[in-house]
């Protein structure tokens, strides 16, 4: 793309969002060379060119990533610790069919909020009769408290929610309530209804839980609340998404989360899991949680990725996640902009401190900037000014949009290659199982949902890799909030009662 700017070097700069009303950003004056390219743009251009080169994902790179994903999956299935991919057994052997009936609960703990949900299922004809959801935020002191405090807090919120049960929600007299428990922290699962917490992540520092069975912790806390309820399925959010999507569509074979972090799971044949010892599955199939965020083979990384990784709390880990997920895309862009600002007067002489602060620029910001189709990129200017304090002229804004696009394109295309890797592995094991018929990949997460260019790049990469014929059978479908109902459905399929 050319950076010859024909419009005047200064651009009128209108604040766009409500928060910016009343503040008029300064406009930078930029010297211009005879060629019409502003001097500052010309010095930043090599940084962009190198970035685009280093982030390039032509077909051979995508192919390598897809093949390596398939190979790493196999290695992780062979033995524990056999590859970057943990390939964790979910113990979910039976997926929802649509015949589920009765009242089931779900509890989702995965971040600063937790959600409780109840659903009344009416089998094939009536399907989901009614659903109610409540969200509760977890106070800071609970996130840093003791295990008992946390689980008592959860159980007490759940007890309050249960008290409001009524209307279309009916529990047969002789039964206990059953709940699915979506728990998005690293767990060593030991059965469908038990799992040992390996460590807290995402800002949780609750003492006393690591090494303990979290289902036992919750069951005990529910007992202390006098709550007549048991956990019948402990699942990860990806697995719950797959189950939720599968309830409506029997062709769902893979689920992918692209939100703050990323992960994927899929339906695997038990015969293809050498490390599986003594685990019997009546269906002959089980869901594997890949933990693909840890994938690292052959990724096109830049100096900016390496610096971000080195400064992270987990250097050398979660490299795929750091390249493709929402927590990091904005931060990579910010690091590139700092380099451009330091090396040129592209954003004026004074570089605001805010631009130098890690994680000031979020992925939602870079996504919003890419949606600006105006001639003078007003929204880009406003976002840059509001979020980082930077002034910009049109040339600088164009450059910023190119940087955002480069990082989103690499992320989306690599995520697409990862999906193809999973499908390819399944197909290699059993010819025709995914490519010979309609196959659905259920997608969820804020990044996938709210970043249209990212989504487009992901789908394009899948098409490029599979070719027109096979890709016409592969449906990549957004399954919004399937994970809540998915966990309740897994409580139903793993119920101790016949239904």
Whole-angstrom Cα distance, residue 56 to residue 410?
A: 7
Site for ligand ADP in 59-78 (CB under 6 A): none
Binder to ligand ADP among 244, 259, 348, 381 (CB under 6 A)? 259
Which of 34-65 are b and which e, b meaning 16 or more Cβ less than 10 Å from the residue's Cβ?
Answer: eeebbbbbbebbebbeebbeebebeeebbbeb
* Partner that binds at residue 89, options ligand ADP, Mg ion, none, CB closer than 5 to 8 Å by kind: none
Q: Is the dihedral of CA 278, 229, 243, 363 positive or negative?
A: negative
Residues 6 or more apart whose CB falls under 8 angstroms from that of 205 comprise 143, 144
Site for Mg ion in 254-273 (CB under 5 A): 259
Six token digits for residue 242: 């797959």
* Partner that binds at residue 326, options ligand ADP, Mg ion, none, CB closer than 5 to 8 Å by kind: ligand ADP
Whether residue 202 lies in the annotated active site: yes
Among residues 160, 164, 168, 202, the one annotated as catalytic is: 202
Closer CB to Mg ion, 259 or 330, in the complex: 259
Binder to ligand ADP among 300, 326, 418, 484 (CB under 6 A)? 326
Shortest distance (Å) from residue 371 CB to ligand ADP: 9
Among residues 237, 305, 405, 444, the one annotated as catalytic is: 237
Closer CB to ligand ADP, 337 or 408, in the complex: 408
Does residue 220 sit in helix, strand or coil?
helix
Residues 6 or more apart whose CB falls under 8 angstroms from that of 464 comprise 59, 62
Shortest distance (Å) from residue 392 CB to ligand ADP: 20
Whole-angstrom Cα distance, residue 222 to residue 228?
A: 8
Q: Is the dihedral of CA 216, 217, 218, 224 positive or negative?
A: positive
Whole-angstrom Cα distance, residue 38 to residue 7?
A: 11
Closer CB to ligand ADP, 153 or 451, in the complex: 451
Task: Print the binding letters for residues 428-467 with ligand ADP: x by CB under 6 A, - otherwise.
Answer: -----------------xxx--xx----------------
238 binds ligand ADP (CB under 6 A): no
Site for ligand ADP in 343-372 (CB under 6 A): 363-364, 367
Closer CB to Mg ion, 259 or 484, in the complex: 259
Nearest to 318 by CA among 359, 358, 262: 262
* Partner that binds at residue 367, options ligand ADP, Mg ion, none, CB closer than 5 to 8 Å by kind: ligand ADP
Whole-angstrom Cα distance, residue 356 to residue 340?
A: 12
Does residue 104 sit in helix, strand or coil?
strand
Element (H, E) at 339: helix 326-343
Cα radius of gyration rounded to whole Å, the chain = 25
Whole-angstrom Cα distance, residue 363 to residue 327?
A: 7
Whether residue 480 lies in the annotated active site: no
* Partner that binds at residue 20, options Mg ion, ligand ADP, none, CB closer than 5 to 8 Å by kind: none
Site for ligand ADP in 111-140 (CB under 6 A): 111
Known catalytic residues are 202, 237
> Rule CB under 6 A: which residues touch ligand ADP?
110-111, 259-261, 326-327, 363-364, 367, 445-447, 450-451
């Amino acid at each position: 793309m050319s950076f010859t700017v024909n419009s005047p070097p200064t651009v009128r700069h209108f604040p766009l969002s409500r928060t910016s009303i009343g503040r008029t950003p300064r406009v930078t004056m930029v010297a211009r060379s005879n060629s019409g390219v502003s001097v500052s743009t010309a010095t930043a251009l090599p940084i962009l060119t190198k970035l685009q080169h280093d982030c390039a994902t032509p077909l051979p790179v995508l192919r390598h990533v897809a093949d390596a994903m398939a190979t790493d999956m196999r290695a992780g299935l062979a033995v524990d610790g056999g590859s970057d991919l943990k390939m964790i057994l979910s113990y979910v052997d039976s997926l929802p069919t649509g015949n589920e009936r009765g009242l089931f609960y779900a509890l989702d703990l995965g971040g600063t909020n937790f959600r409780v949900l109840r659903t009344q299922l009416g089998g094939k004809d009536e399907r989901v009769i009614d659903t109610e959801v409540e969200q509760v935020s977890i106070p800071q002191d609970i996130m840093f408290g003791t295990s008992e405090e946390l689980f008592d807090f959860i159980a007490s919120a759940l007890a309050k929610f249960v008290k409001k049960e009524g209307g279309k929600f009916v529990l047969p007299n002789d039964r206990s309530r059953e709940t699915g428990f979506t728990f998005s922290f690293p767990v060593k699962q030991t059965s469908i209804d038990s799992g040992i917490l390996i460590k807290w992540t995402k800002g949780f520092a609750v003492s006393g839980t690591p090494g303990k069975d979290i289902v036992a912790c919750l069951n005990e806390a529910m007992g202390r609340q006098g709550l007549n309820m048991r956990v019948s399925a402990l699942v990860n959010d990806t697995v719950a998404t797959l189950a939720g999507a599968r309830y409506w569509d029997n062709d769902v074979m893979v689920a992918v989360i692209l939100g703050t972090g990323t992960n994927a799971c899929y339906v695997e044949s038990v015969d293809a899991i050498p490390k599986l010892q003594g685990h019997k599955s009546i269906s002959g199939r089980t869901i594997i949680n890949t933990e693909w965020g840890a994938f690292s083979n052959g990724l096109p990384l830049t100096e900016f990725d390496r610096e971000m990784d080195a400064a992270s709390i987990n250097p050398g880990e979660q490299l795929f996640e750091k390249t493709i997920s929402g927590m990091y895309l904005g931060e990579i862009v910010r690091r590139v902009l700092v380099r451009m600002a330091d090396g040129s007067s592209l954003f004026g002489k004074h570089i605001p401190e805010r631009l130098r602060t890690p994680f000031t620029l979020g992925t939602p910001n870079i996504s919003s900037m890419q949606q600006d189709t105006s001639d003078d990129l007003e929204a880009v200017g406003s976002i840059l000014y509001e979020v980082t304090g930077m002034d910009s002229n049109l040339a600088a804004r164009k450059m910023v949009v190119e940087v955002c696009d480069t990082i989103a394109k690499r992320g989306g295309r690599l995520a697409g290659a990862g999906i193809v890797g999973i499908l390819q592995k399944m197909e290699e094991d059993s010819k025709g199982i995914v490519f010979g018929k309609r196959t659905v990949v259920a997608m969820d997460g804020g990044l996938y949902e709210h970043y249209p260019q990212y989504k487009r790049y992901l789908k394009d990469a899948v098409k490029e890799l599979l070719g027109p014929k096979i890709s016409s059978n592969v449906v990549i479908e957004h399954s919004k909030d399937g994970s809540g109902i998915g966990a309740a459905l897994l409580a139903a399929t793993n119920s101790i009662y016949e239904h």
